A and B are shown apart, each in its own frame.
Chain A
Amino acid sequence: MTATTRPMPCPRCGTAMNHHADKLVETSSRRDAPDIDAALGGIVEETHACPTCGNVEFRRARGPA
């Protein structure tokens, strides 16, 4: 169901969410600097959707190990 190596349970209903998108977010905030993927030029936010209730959640992706 989910592409991420870190499954996300829906905070509303507990169903395993589907990781369906990675959104690149460009930022100039110094606070975000540690999370910037240098190759992509921004922060990658994972987007997850719940197949049971339709809830949507965002999570900052972890960089390559």
Chain B
Amino acid sequence: MTIPTSSPWSAGARAEPSPLASPLARPLSIPVVLGTTRKGRMSAHAARFVADRIRLRDGIATDVIDISRLPLPVDDAGEGVRSPEYGEAMLRADAIVIVAPEYNHSFPGLLKHVLDSCLKEYIHKAAGIVAVSAGSFGGTRVIQSLLPVLRELGLVTIFWDVNIGNVGRVFDDAGLLVDDAFVRRTDKFLDELVWMARTLRTGRETIPLT
């Protein structure tokens, strides 16, 4: 079959270099947000573990953003309390991992305070949740309460989560993983998050809204 040269699929019509080639040339940035300030938090072990799993992948930069180390004034809210460090990290990010413990069936208030401090930085970027709980439900309720928040912030949530229930049995006192099942679970979660991050970067940078 001969393809007419006027066809949009013909070689002549594709003389321009593919715009899809350039966005993925730069490394991805996927920070891990440790979403609690509570003393003795077990979520810190989970955040370090996930960041270590990300570091094993080529072409992805990561860091743990500990919200307890951010300035968190409470006499204002939203962009009025954004820390430059957090804002820059979100601006660079292609995806974020939120490590969120479940407190009273929801997320920590200060995590919401930090998330609300940005907006444009999040739009059309991927988000995945690692839920942590002391009980047996694995933080399912913090995930369900956090999803509509992330959606309104413009983040694109993935369908994989990491549910760390009975966290006291998953990490030892030194923070080392003692349940190897979480390696595979976390890697599957990251496979999806990285795919979404790549796809959304391509979309943000090359596909017009209309």
Chain A interface secondary structure, helix, strand, loop or mixed? strand
On whether the beta carbons of B210 and A51 are closer than 8 Å, the reply is no
B55 at the interface (CB under 8 A from A): no
Interface size on B, residues (CB 8 A): 21
- Chain B residues within 8 Å of A21, by CB: 123-124, 154, 204, 209
Q: How large is the interface on A (under 10, 10 to 19, 20 to 34, 35 or more residues)?
A: 20 to 34
| Distance of A23 Cα from B155 Cα, bound (Å) | 11
Q: Are A56 and B91 in contact (CB under 8 A)?
A: yes
Q: Is B207 in contact with A20, judged by CB distance below 8 angstroms?
A: yes
Residue of A nearest to B204 (CB): A49
How distant is the Cα of A57 from the Cα of B205 in the complex, in angstroms? Answer: 12
Within 8 A of A (CB), among B145-179: 154
Verify if A1 is at the interface (C-beta below 8 Å from B). Answer: yes
A37 contacts partner chain B, Cβ-Cβ < 8 Å: no
Q: Determine how close the nearest CB of chain A comes to the CB of B69; give it in whole angstroms.
A: 24
CA distance A55 to B26 in the complex (A): 12
What residues of chain A lie closer than 8 Å to B82, measured between beta carbons?
A: none
At the interface, yes or no: B23 with Cβ under 8 Å from chain A? yes
- CB-based nearest B residue for A51: B205
* Complex Cα–Cα for A3 and B210 (A): 5
Chain B residues with CB under 8 A of A58: 119-120
Question: Considering only CB atoms, which chain B residue lies closest to A25 in the complex?
Answer: B119
* Residues of B with C-beta under 8 A to A51: 19, 22-23, 205-206
Cα distance, A19 to B120, chains bound together (Å): 12
- Out of A3, A20, A23, A45, which one reaches B203, CB within 8 Å? A20
Do residues B208 and A1 form an inter-chain contact, with CB atoms below 8 A?
Answer: yes
Could you list some 13 contacts between A and B, CB below 8 A?
A3-B209, A3-B210, A20-B207, A21-B123, A23-B119, A23-B120, A47-B120, A47-B123, A49-B205, A51-B22, A54-B26, A56-B204, A58-B119
Nearest 5 interchain pairs by C-beta? A3-B208, A51-B205, A49-B204, A58-B120, A3-B209
